[in-house]
Amino acid sequence: MDSISWKFTSSGEFSLKTAYALACSSIDPILNETNNVHALDLRWIWKLQCYPKMKMFIWQCIRKALPLKTSICARGVVINIVCPLCASGVESFVHLFVECLAVKEVWTALNIHPLSWSRDQCVSKWIKDHASRKDIISMDISYGATFIFGLWEIWLGRNALVFENKAFNPILIRKKTVCKAAEFVYLNCNPSTPNASSVFSIGWEAPPVGWWKLNTDGSCQGNQNLIGGGGLIRDSNGNWIHGFIKFLGEGNSLLAELWAICEGLNLAKHLGCIRIIVETDSSAAVNLINSKDCELPFWISLRQK
């Protein structure tokens, strides 16, 4: 009697350990049996500076496992294969991520251009060449990180259009890419914000006479990326002067912290609190604001006031 077995263990039983070793090896489990020439070394994917879900996404792109319309059609499902973004091409990997006019707008806005595709190009090499570039584009974010987060956001934007009928907006995609890449880089890759946590006790201290203190905090609701922020201003005697709380829309935790600071500073300005000390629990926000090339629009406008 025939039975299904896993050929990478002696018992034939599936094990996660062997599956992981296989994923990290240069062996192509599907193609190596008939044609070794196609064996791919994809270990570089797992070393990329991005979230695990993005590494899985890139692996899917390379293994032709992404449910693009042409891929679904090739598996025998009868569907319309026209690109949902521009309605003038066929939705293949090359079209959706390189050639589509709507997507070209995203790459141009991100300073990732021109992205070319030659006939003998393979997806793996194309992604690897761009994703491994270390040159900085802006705000300490590398070309490679911007490229990876850009690919991911284009895919999310495409899915929002296909499944939720939300318009594909290149400017919004660009904004989300930069925000998420900045958050990742500042929270995960910045040596000044090490991952190792340390616990220490702090207490609130009143500002000097003639000064005010603004304390802010921002928060992000995980699944829906809804953000809000709040804060309060106190004088040198610790008296409460004013407070605020605000729903800020969609974003991420770093954006919530930054907007809370921005709202607090605007409120302080409105109240005439000229000499103000700002306290936040986000070292990433502080590092970002203090960085020489901080290009946050609200910070630039605040500095000019």
Contacts of residue 259, Cβ cutoff 8 Å, sequence gap at least 6: 218, 227, 229, 246, 248, 251, 298
> Measured from the CB atom, is 70 or 216 closer to Zn ion?
70
Residue 89 binding Zn ion, by CB under 5 A: yes
> Measured from the CB atom, is 170 or 228 closer to Zn ion?
170
Residue 85 binding Zn ion, by CB under 5 A: yes
> Measured from the CB atom, is 96 or 285 closer to Zn ion?
96
Stretch that binds Zn ion, among 52-60, 97-105, 155-163, 215-223 (CB under 5 A): 97-105
Residue 100 binding Zn ion, by CB under 5 A: yes
> Measured from the CB atom, is 100 or 254 closer to Zn ion?
100
Contacts of residue 106, Cβ cutoff 8 Å, sequence gap at least 6: 150, 153, 154, 170, 173, 174, 177
> Measured from the CB atom, is 89 or 230 closer to Zn ion?
89
Interior CA angle at 64 toward 36 and 66, to 5°?
Answer: 155
Stretch that binds Zn ion, among 96-104, 119-127, 197-205, 296-304 (CB under 5 A): 96-104
Residue 20 token pair: 């992981």
Give whole-number Cα distances, 209 to 115, 180, 212, 235, in Å.
57, 40, 8, 8
Residue 84 binding Zn ion, by CB under 5 A: no
Cβ(146)–Cβ(137) under 8 Å?
A: yes
The least CB distance from residue 85 to Zn ion, in Å, is 4
Rg (alpha carbons) of the chain, rounded to whole number: 24
Stretch that binds Zn ion, among 33-41, 98-106, 141-149, 175-183 (CB under 5 A): 98-106
The least CB distance from residue 95 to Zn ion, in Å, is 6
- Candidate residues 27, 73, 86, 226; the one interacting with Zn ion per rule CB under 5 A: 86
Cβ(271)–Cβ(199) under 8 Å?
A: no
Which of 51, 46, 94, 39 minimizes the C-alpha distance to 70?
94
- Candidate residues 48, 58, 83, 110; the one interacting with Zn ion per rule CB under 5 A: 83
The least CB distance from residue 64 to Zn ion, in Å, is 19
> Measured from the CB atom, is 100 or 256 closer to Zn ion?
100
Helical H segments across the chain, by residue range: 16-24, 52-62, 69-74, 93-94, 101-109, 123-131, 143-164, 170-184, 253-271, 283-290, 297-304
Residue 291 token pair: 């960085």
Q: How far apart are CA 297 and CA 198, in angstroms?
A: 32
Stretch that binds Zn ion, among 86-94, 109-117, 128-136, 232-240 (CB under 5 A): 86-94
Stretch that binds Zn ion, among 76-84, 123-131, 216-224, 248-256 (CB under 5 A): 76-84
Contacts of residue 265, Cβ cutoff 8 Å, sequence gap at least 6: 214, 276, 278, 302
Residue 285 binding Zn ion, by CB under 5 A: no
Residue 137 binding Zn ion, by CB under 5 A: no
Binding site for Zn ion (CB under 5 A): 83, 85-86, 89, 100
